[in-house]
Amino acid sequence: MPTNAQLRNRRILADALMSLVEEKSFEKITVRDLCQRAHLNHSTFYRQYHNKYELLMDILPEFIENVFSGEWTNSEEMLRSILAWTEDNRIVVRNLLAEIDSMTTYRELLRAVSEQILSNPIQNTVTSTLADTINRMYFPKLVAENMATLMFQVVLQWADQSKFTEAKREAYIADVLRLFQL
């Protein structure tokens, strides 16, 4: 069980990471950057985490929960909510997802998101239905990972859509909704 000091240091490092991701890609962030931003020593960092990837995996569930927080009654509400969040956090999305140089990081992100899809920590009508449906499938982990990949791509495309007109945005949303209904 982590001590209060360990929990505090983890929160400080998580905040430092999120702050730095607003400035540059995750792959370009170093442990030194994190420690400087957090005003912590390297030894403090390494008592908590082996590397920056472990820190990212530690904060990912909270990050995902922020993306998926909401009371939706249908897929369109969920999609619009996620895309609104993406628009508000465009730089973070690009720096976390679009700039990934490491396939290991990408796979870990997919694994974390697919686990969230399967475990359904955010109880609402849409995510509960999705989790129940996927968990009844023959290959639930594989399907959840495929769903996570699709969601990554939708979010990345939306993060890059600043040149879309309103009509093109609505057409994109309609296309994605059709895809989810396949």
Domains detected in the chain: 4-180 (1.10.357.10)
Q: What is the mean pLDDT of residues 50-55?
A: 90
Would you tell me how many other CB atoms lie within 10 Å of the CB of residue 114? 22
Q: Tell me: the pLDDT tens digits for 166-178? A: 888 888 888 888 8
Helix, strand and coil in the chain, % to nearest 5? 80, 0, 20
Q: Tell me: the pLDDT tens digits for 120-141? A: 655 555 666 777 888 888 998 8
Q: Tell me: the pLDDT tens digits for 3-42? A: 998 999 999 999 999 999 999 988 899 999 999 999 999 9
